[in-house]
Amino acid sequence: MRYLLYSLATDKKNGFFAFFIKLILLFLSFAYGIIIRLLIFISFLDLKRFNLRIISVGNITVGGTGKTSLVEYIARKFRERGSKVAILTRGYKRGAFDLLGDEPKMLLKNLSNVPVVVNKNRAVALRRIEKEYGIDIVVLDDGMQQWRIKKDLEIVTIDATNPFGNKHMIPRGILRQPLSTLKKADIFVLTKTDLAGNSDTLKRRLDHYNSKALIVESVHYPVGFYRPEEEENLIPKDFLKEENVAILSGIGDPDSFASTVSSLGIKIALDLRFGDHHNYTSGEIKAVTESIRNKGLNLLIITEKDATRLSDKELDMFAGIEVFVLRIELKILKNEENFLSRLFRVYSF
């Protein structure tokens, strides 16, 4: 059902039946838009303020835009300056025995000296951080829809390959809130610009919505590979060049993962995809393993998010198949100096 709705929202499904369903979804989108506008208005009447510098990283659409990589980048830059920084995230789709979630676990692994706080109620968590953590700066992951929290910097990540979909709101489109709210942003970070070609048209559209915001261009840069049991041993990114491999992903934008793997000269013989934040079952791992073996393959590449969701027991089920995790970092191509200047100004207020 989720896949069907997403296909309709992104206009990948057409035909008479799809047209009829889209009309219903359009009506629901209209109602959803009214509710969201009302919630935003009410929230601004009762803003929660904290004795912390709060930097929000969020997006205006559903799907993967690269927020987590940017959160990691920002926290790392502040930590390098000696600032006391923490990350606050919801920890989306945590399992019954998983108190963190895949993205927080990935952030903890890559930023061992930065506290990562997981709480669905961000206001409650900020009060706790304020009182107990001795923190100066909080990077609020997926914070654009946290309308009741007073933020010092609003950063919006935008997928350059599909910025706003069909410009309709959920469920007819992929917008989480109206495009007019982009005027509240301080910085736009365009992600995946290497996969989108020329970004001038998108920049002009953003300038129309908000001419004062800084626009930054970035890519998700493949750093190298590592084996799940040897995270500290990074293997050069050209290690698997010309090899036939299978890839496995349960992320918001599997297309970009496949494109990144292909850009390394690796031949994708099998592309296995699951929903974002998918918690794999033993049965699914068994089926994946059989599919890989049936293709005559013995190499599998997975994302870092997926690596955090696979236990040692589940990884052992890939016996005879070498598993590699692709390490990806956000790299700013344009306006990095201005971006960092704007970030660090928050701390000097």
**What tens digit of pLDDT does each residue of 254-266 get?**
989 999 999 999 9
Which pLDDT value is given to residue 168?
Answer: 95
Which pLDDT value is given to residue 97?
Answer: 40
Which pLDDT value is given to residue 14?
Answer: 83
pLDDT digit string (tens) for 107-119?
998 998 899 999 9
Which tokens is 56 given?
A: 């929000």
Left if phi > 0, otherwise alpha if psi is -120 to 50, otherwise beta: which for 18? alpha
Residues 89 and 122: their CA atoms lie apart, in Å, by 8
CA angle 74, 64, 331 (to 5 degrees): 40
Q: How sure is the predictor about 1, in pLDDT bands with cuts at 50, 70 and 90?
A: low
Round the average pLDDT of the chain to a whole number and report it. Answer: 92
Please tell me the number of Cα atoms within 13 Å of 113 on its side-chain side.
8
Backbone angles phi, psi at 12, to 5 degrees: -80, -20
Q: How sure is the predictor about 94, in pLDDT bands with cuts at 50, 70 and 90?
A: low
pLDDT digit string (tens) for 303-347?
999 999 898 899 999 999 999 999 999 999 999 999 999 999 987
In residues, how long is the chain? 349
Helix ranges restricted to H, the chain: 2-9, 16-44, 67-80, 102-110, 122-132, 193-196, 200-209, 254-263, 282-294, 304-309, 312-316, 336-347
**DSSP one-letter code for 34:** H
Is pLDDT larger for residue 229 or for residue 5?
229
Which pLDDT value is given to residue 10?
Answer: 78
Question: In this structure, how many other beta carbons lie within 10 angstroms of the beta carbon of residue 334?
Answer: 14
| Residues 326 and 260: beta-carbon distance below 8 Å | yes
| Range with lowest mean pLDDT among 13-17, 39-43, 120-124, 247-251 | 13-17
Q: How sure is the predictor about 54, in pLDDT bands with cuts at 50, 70 and 90?
A: very high
CA-to-CA dists, residue 95 to 91, 102, 222, 252, angstroms: 10, 10, 29, 18
Question: Which of 334, 346, 286 lies closest to 139, judged by CA?
Answer: 346
Percent of the chain with pLDDT over 70: 95
The residues with which 247 forms a beta bridge, in sequence order, are: 271, 301
CA 41 to chain centre: 27
Residues 274 and 248: their CA atoms lie apart, in Å, by 8
| Res. 96: pLDDT tops 50 | no
Residues 83 and 136: their CA atoms lie apart, in Å, by 7
**DSSP one-letter code for 175:** B
pTM listed for this prediction: 0.90
Residues 7 and 9: their CA atoms lie apart, in Å, by 6
